[in-house]
Structure 1
Amino acid sequence: MLQFGLRGVSGAEFFSSIHMMTKAFEYEQKMLRQMQKFLNNNQQKLDFLKDTLRDFESERNEAREWGPAYFDSPVNKYLLNKRLTVDWQRVENLMETSTGEKPLKRLQELRIGKGELEGALDGILRLQFVYRLKAKDLANGILDGVNYGTQLNSEHCVDIARLALRDQHPRLAHSWLLEANERLTSGEKSLELKPQILAMLVQAKAELGDLRGMNETYQELLQIQPASEEHRRNYESFLLAQGDKVSLNESQIIEEHGPIPKEDEVVTPFQAFCLTCSGHWEPKPHELRDLRCGYLTETHPFLWIAPFKVEELNHDPLILLFHDVIYQSEIDAIKELTRNNLNRGQVTGLNSSSVSNVRTSQTSFRPVTAHKVLETIDKRVGIMTDLNMKYAEDHQFSNYGIGGHYGEHYDWFNQITIDSGVVSNPEHGNRIATVLFYLSDVTQGGGTAFTYLKKLVKPKKYSAVFWYNLHASGVGDLRTQHGACPIIAGSKWVQNRWIRELGQSDRRPCEYWDDSLVTKSMIMESLKKEKALKAASDSQAI
């Protein structure tokens, strides 16, 4: 699993939600106002000191012109003593006073934590890895072919590379370090960054097996500055790790991204997720041949008047895409309902739920009774799916952040998870089905990837995806593994309706066979072969 891991005001987190990032932008405006107050307070202080300095110098210049006769006047004696006592004391007190302390304190309160920066950098690395983007393009503000006009400097590239190395992604780190080196400009900052770039390049090249490049880079580093104890120790440890067969003449071309796996090659679920999100994996034409689209009229009499527009995405397991099944007025009501109720999304594990880099989003759960519009949506979902919504879970709303994603997962619960007490209302059964509403369009990325099926559903506002999570036998369907692809650009809002098993026996009855072990298509194929064999046997008998 590729791990990509900001606490701000009052413990809020901004990077994991575009909605929250807009609030962070508002916080920046407040910070600018506090900074202006600080400057104004200190400007008044400086203006007073300048005026006082000018008066004191004027008095001294006048005294020089008069010479010793200046002190013949008792008034002048008084003024000099006053300056040396009361006036200079006032100046001293003013210079010691921390002018602007209140706005400074407020500025410190508003400033977001370092974790926000790491969260943003994580998002950039995630986009680069999943969509196989080039560091050079990202540094030039080009995201998957679209130029957003924002340039990164050498220091920015070093920050990204440092995080990539820390999280053990040397290929990505190597590409960012090369870009950082190219973007170096003359100046004091360059003298500071160059050794950092070379030291990290030594580490990246060593981890990638380019020993010749590692040695050459290390020698270049030595020409700039004497090797620090840390650099020397790292270099020697790299050599030691190679054993007796180490050869500093061994060179290796370092590609920014690893090779794309072949069709028959075994891959991890996360690799499958990335390949589906990036479009390198997709169904073959013959797998799409029997899929249809049309109007749904069968599940409710109301649909005779206003049928749903439905597109088949997959037959087994069944996945459907409903078009235009939620309205802008409902979306506006939902966003108002969740405006101040978003929190970092959690991932349900075997024994607990916790915040994880597997999921970067802000979520909100609202009961169906929270607003009339939620009741309306549930009635519509019941008609769409022909399932009982009585025991459905609370409505979940999510907004994804910088490179926001939700790694590959299943919506159904593992039995161990149910037994551990993590699942609410276990008596309602497992999640038989999911309906995922898209409440916004997404400019780039942000699709829903079904990794086993190699299918990518791109977000389209007002539409909803429906699929069964369980076999008809009640066993979790491994083929429904899916994930939310990282967002390249835009803001993604979704609404989840998780429907439980209780009350569905008359809506989705069991098959005559255990469909978790054998599918209907396999049975039909077997019957077809038996029929063909019987026909052949009968013809031979004749």
Structure 2
Amino acid sequence: MLFDFILFMSVGTIYACGEVFSSVDRMKQLPKIEQKLIAACDRFLEHKHKIHGFAKFKRFLDSTRKENEKALRDETYVENPINGFRLLWRLSERWLAATTTSRTEKVIGDDDTVSDFFVKIRSSIKKVSLWPTADDITGAANGLVRLSLVFNLDINQLIGGSIGHYHTEPLTGDEVFAITKVVYQTEEKLELMAWLNKSVDLMTSENTEAKHADEAIELKTKLLASMKNRKRDDSVDKNINKCNGSGCHGDSLSEKLTSNGQNSEVHTTCHSMYEQLCRENTRTAADNSKLHCQYQTTSIPFIKAKAEYVHTDPPIMLFHDVISDIESYWIINTSRHMLSRSLMGKFNTSGEYFGKKRISQSAWIYDDLDVSAKLSKRIGLLTGLSTRLLEEETHAEPFQIHNYGLGGMYEPHEDSVRLYRQTGKEENKAVRNSGDRIATWLFYLTDVKVGGATVFPLLNTRVPVTKGSAAFWYNLKQNGDPDMRTIHAGCPVLIGDKWVANKWIREVGQMFRRKCALDRDL
């Protein structure tokens, strides 16, 4: 059969889930899948060239082939979020539209051949595990809007295909309107108006189908009516302005967190500081003068590591050249087919969910493999902490591997699991009696062109993504209490493909390695 190749793609490669937008690595596989679909269509049409019902589809195929060839020539094509959205939208929407024939387009005598052909395409596409869906379009559109807001991007330039020094083809009116419909579901009404105006202008100039243009104009009319009676609430602006004053220091804010971590003032201020740090390093020369670099010694005299202090109290360190390119590639290649959407836990329940605050896919790698075991020992050597992985009362957790998606990020959060422990929701036998996560080690497996930094909003500290390096910090004070100053976030990836591997180290096994302080406040 002409579409056996698609069936092979659906069963020959096994993936943990079908979602695509939340992993740039998965998006990179789409152009090759589309290429095989185009080739199969070409082979079929070679024998049906006299059938007039295929004329419109052939034009679609010719234009799609050109776009597909661009993506195949450049392996970093989808690392640009504009290209990533365009690819997802084309596969999800344009292929469906091109294989749906209206009654006015049918040709007498050719109906069955054309219809059967299109039905085969659509049914085969459904069997491809990585083929994007409407949910991927929604996620990708939200990602583009998130990037425009966090990085203060000019919408006209973004729609025009420009992100800083990176340029690509402009978005079409239909693509912009697809994004606009997603923005309409959010509270960003002023942002929505900018997208709506641009989509209407583009669809008018491109002579887009009247129904799409009419829908955009109708949506604009509704929005204007709702905004006319809506008073602007400037409470968020007030909280953002606080970030430029003395009320944003980590010590004062972290003290305001309640026992369940739900202080709205802290979280609002923390989020605004997080976005500011994602855009730029806000540290002054005076702040940087307190920092230093050193060779980190270990229990083996001739083994040392280059360590950079990016913050001193609490200490946050960036170790340079601590994982090789070969080791990084091994981790990526090993975890690639195990990726599934990263979850967020609910401390007051035993459940987990797909949170909008975390856009990535993740996998776990244990220490029963040579490379991962070697890396765990290296972490233990450099930190002085035990990283033994045990079936019960484990000293550390397995490596958690993350690949971020279109606009992928992880908003401000703490690594401490105190809330789960308080409610008895840590049910995994290995960690149930292992105490809290005393420290975090984070390997950076790839470079990121723009964005993706790890930031500590309450400490005004920003750690850039540097391939081969690793960030390290303590989540707990020496008295065992959570150090809320180390609330951190992964900034949205603007341009690039971000891979990281983190290891959480538990309290059990560290009693003689990181001793309690004499001062109860430390």
Deviation of 1:181 (Å): 3.7
In structure 1, what is the Cα distance between the partners aligned to 2:188 and 2:288?
36
| Further displaced range: 104-113 or 459-468 | 104-113
**DSSP-derived class of the 1:499 partner:** strand
Partner of 1:261: 241
Match of 1:450 among 453, 456, 459: 456
Q: 1:150 is matched by which residue type in structure 2?
A: E
Partner of 1:409: 413
Check the 8 A contact 1:171/1:204 in 2, yes or no: no
Partner of 2:290: 290
In structure 2, what is the Cα distance between the partners aligned to 1:276 and 1:94?
61
In structure 2, what is the Cα distance between the partners aligned to 1:405 and 1:141?
22
**DSSP-derived class of the 1:25 partner:** helix
Alignment of 1:342-491 (within 5 A): 342-350=339-347, 351=349, 352-369=351-368, 371-390=369-388, 391-417=395-421, 419-422=423-426, 424=428, 425-491=431-497
Match of 1:162 among 170, 181, 187: 181
In structure 2, what is the Cα distance between the partners aligned to 1:296 and 1:206?
63
Query: Residues 300, 207 of structure 1: CA spacing in aligned structure 2 closer, same or farther, 3 A cutoff?
Result: farther
Deviation of 1:497 (Å): 0.8
Check the 8 A contact 1:34/1:104 in 2, yes or no: no
Deviations 1:53-89 (A, max 9, x none): xxxxxxxxxxxxxxxxxxxxxxxxxxxxxxxxxxxxx
Query: Residues 152, 260 of structure 1: CA spacing in aligned structure 2 closer, same or farther, 3 A cutoff?
Result: farther
| Further displaced range: 414-423 or 403-412 | 414-423
Check the 8 A contact 2:240/2:269 in 1, yes or no: no
Q: 1:292 is matched by which residue type in structure 2?
A: H
**DSSP-derived class of the 1:374 partner:** helix
Q: Within the alignment, does 1:277 sit opposite 2:278 as a pair?
A: yes
**DSSP-derived class of the 1:427 partner:** coil
Alignment of 1:174-185 (within 5 A): 174-185=193-204
In structure 1, what is the Cα distance between the partners aligned to 2:466 and 2:206?
49
In structure 1, what is the Cα distance between the partners aligned to 2:42 and 2:238?
49
In structure 2, what is the Cα distance between the partners aligned to 1:182 and 1:188?
10
In structure 2, what is the Cα distance between the partners aligned to 1:195 and 1:96?
33
Match of 1:199 among 218, 243, 252: 218
| TM-score, normalised by the number of residues in structure 1 | 0.71
Q: 1:159 is matched by which residue type in structure 2?
A: A
For structure 1, the 5+ residue unaligned runs are 1-7, 48-91, 212-237, 243-251, 520-542
Matched residues, percent identical? 29
In structure 1, what is the Cα distance between the partners aligned to 2:295 and 2:355?
40
In structure 2, what is the Cα distance between the partners aligned to 1:269 and 1:443?
25
In structure 2, what is the Cα distance between the partners aligned to 1:361 and 1:187?
35
**DSSP-derived class of the 1:311 partner:** strand
**DSSP-derived class of the 1:268 partner:** helix
Deviation of 1:190 (Å): 6.7
**DSSP-derived class of the 1:443 partner:** strand
In structure 2, what is the Cα distance between the partners aligned to 1:289 and 1:104?
61
For structure 2, the 5+ residue unaligned runs are 1-8, 54-107, 248-264, 389-394
Query: How many residue pairs end up in the alignment?
Result: 417
Which is higher, the Rg of structure 1 or of structure 2? 1
In structure 1, what is the Cα distance between the partners aligned to 2:328 and 2:379?
15
**DSSP-derived class of the 1:396 partner:** strand
Deviation of 1:149 (Å): 2.0
Alignment of 1:16-415 (within 5 A): 16-40=22-46, 42-43=48-49, 96=112, 99-100=116-117, 102-103=120-121, 105-110=123-128, 111-143=131-163, 145-186=164-205, 188-189=207-208, 191-205=210-224, 208=227, 211=228, 238=229, 261-262=241-242, 263-264=244-245, 267-279=268-280, 282-297=282-297, 299-301=298-300, 304-350=301-347, 351=349, 352-369=351-368, 371-390=369-388, 391-415=395-419
Deviation of 1:294 (Å): 1.7
Check the 8 A contact 2:458/2:486 in 1, yes or no: yes
Q: Within the alignment, does 1:496 sit opposite 2:475 as a pair?
A: no
Deviations 1:499-524 (A, max 9, x none): 00001111111111222xxx5xxxxx
Deviations 1:205-264 (A, max 9, x none): 4555xx3xxxxxxxxxxxxxxxxxxxxxxxxxx4xx77xxxxxxxxx9x9xx99962512
CA RMSD in angstroms, aligned pairs only: 2.9
In structure 2, what is the Cα distance between the partners aligned to 1:270 and 1:460?
24
Query: Residues 96, 335 of structure 1: CA spacing in aligned structure 2 closer, same or farther, 3 A cutoff?
Result: closer
Deviation of 1:330 (Å): 0.9
Deviation of 1:172 (Å): 1.5
Deviation of 1:13 (Å): 1.1
Query: Residues 469, 151 of structure 1: CA spacing in aligned structure 2 closer, same or farther, 3 A cutoff?
Result: same
In structure 1, what is the Cα distance between the partners aligned to 2:461 and 2:178?
35
**DSSP-derived class of the 2:459 partner:** coil
In structure 1, what is the Cα distance between the partners aligned to 2:479 and 2:423?
20
| TM-score, normalised by the number of residues in structure 2 | 0.73
**DSSP-derived class of the 2:307 partner:** strand
Query: Residues 205, 270 of structure 1: CA spacing in aligned structure 2 closer, same or farther, 3 A cutoff?
Result: farther
In structure 1, what is the Cα distance between the partners aligned to 2:385 and 2:226?
53
In structure 1, what is the Cα distance between the partners aligned to 2:403 and 2:358?
11
In structure 1, what is the Cα distance between the partners aligned to 2:459 and 2:225?
38
In structure 2, what is the Cα distance between the partners aligned to 1:174 and 1:395?
44
Partner of 1:216: none
| Further displaced range: 21-30 or 259-268 | 259-268
In structure 2, what is the Cα distance between the partners aligned to 1:187 and 1:412?
53
